[in-house]
Structure 1
């Protein structure tokens, strides 16, 4: 059965400030009526605050959505899915970081991530279809650990090859495959069970 209501696209960025040349920003400008979870000015590192910000954006959407998360936005999404239920058609989970192991210098410490509720990473199946798009040379996550998370979440794993953290520093800018994944997820019936 084909879904009758096209899903809204909700962009879930990571913890960094708004970056104009990030593929999520470019995507938000291209998709009519796309919504983006705004960056927090207070409690930016708080998992609870990030989850609440996502839920607030979703509360303004009537009908199904496709979530498009990158980096810490992926972790926000999986934490949100453990606590809330809304009509989500699917989720693109791009370049999830491994918050259960120390990150490179300049990123939050493992202790700070734990104190702010990010660890351990949820390892339960998501209640909606999802695609984990992972890099083989992401400085924030080992591919095998991301593959294990994808398996725990019930997500399809897409190996993107050596694309770094899939951000402007790694040369992404526009990322056309995101639109392909979104189209695919938007066609998935919400009644489909894995």
Structure 2
């Protein structure tokens, strides 16, 4: 498993070289969430807006990701959290070659019948095909929406590099990950290993 195609001698991608697509999960990411903070800080970041944040329809959410990727003028880096991860993965077969990499955080176990709301199961199960671009998955040991073992299993299927975030809950503002400076450093390292 690798998190970049390039070697140390190839030029490193910077945030300004990419269209960074922020893909929030169920009910969107609030102003304190690290996704919202990154969007405000990164000049080339934009959010994939959904018509129905509280009643997600998988086909509609996936279609919005595909639209935003198609509209991109630079290589795309996906930054997905929670149900946004499921959305991004379901979109992969329709994304063409514009995506340079994906930074995936706190994937919920959408095939687990005990997930709440149950409606989230309409996003499961995850496709298990290897991803056609470098990817990094950050998972917590005590995420209420999905076990670390589940995250490790899908990371292996996708060929994603996995980072163990320890006991970090759902890696959102509620679990104390509003600013999330560690995540920002990992994202910068991930970007630097992608080809511009």
TM-score class, shorter-chain normalisation, is 0.7 to 0.9
Match status 1:143 vs 2:148: yes
- Give unmatched runs, 5+ long, in structure 2: 1-9
Indicate if the aligned counterparts of 1:91 and 1:185 stay in contact, CA closer than 8 A: no
Match of 1:2 among 11, 14, 21: 11
Secondary structure at the aligned position of 1:16 is classed as: coil
The answer to whether the Cα contact below 8 Å between 1:133 and 1:159 also exists between their aligned partners in 2 is yes
In 2: Cα distance, 1:42 partner to 1:180 partner: 29
**Residue 32 of structure 2: aligned partner:** 21
Instruction: Structure 1 unaligned segments of length 5 or more: list them.
Output: none
The aligned counterpart of 2:105 is 94
Answer with 131-140 or 39-48: which moved more: 39-48
Going from structure 1 to structure 2, the CA distance change for 1:33 and 1:7 (only over 3 Å counts) comes to closer
Map 1:60-71; keep pairs closer than 5 Å: 60-71=71-82
Counterpart residue number, 2:189: 184
Residue 7 of structure 1 deviates from its aligned partner by 1.4
Q: 2:159 aligns with which of 141, 145, 154?
A: 154
Range moving further from structure 2, 177-186 or 51-60:
177-186
User: SS at the partner of 1:180?
Assistant: helix
Q: Higher relative contact order at CA 8 Å, sep ≥6: structure 1 or structure 2?
A: 2
Deviation at 1:47, TM superposition (A): 1.1
Structure 1 vs Structure 2 CA RMSD: 2.1
User: Distance between the aligned counterparts of 1:61 and 1:170, measured in 2?
Assistant: 32
- 1:128 corresponds in structure 2 to 133
**Aligned counterpart, 2:7:** none
TM-score (norm 2): 0.86
1: CA distance, partners of 2:146 / 2:53: 26
Following TM superposition, by how much is the alpha carbon of 1:128 offset from its aligned partner in structure 2, in angstroms?
0.6
Q: What SS class does the counterpart of residue 17 from structure 2 fall into? A: coil
Using structure 1 for the length normalisation, give the TM-score.
Answer: 0.86
Deviation, 1:3, is 5.7
Contact 1:78 1:122 in 2 (8 A): yes
- Does the 8 A contact of 1:133 with 1:157 survive in 2? yes
How far residue 125 of structure 1 moved from its aligned partner, in angstroms, is 0.6
Match of 2:6 in 1: none
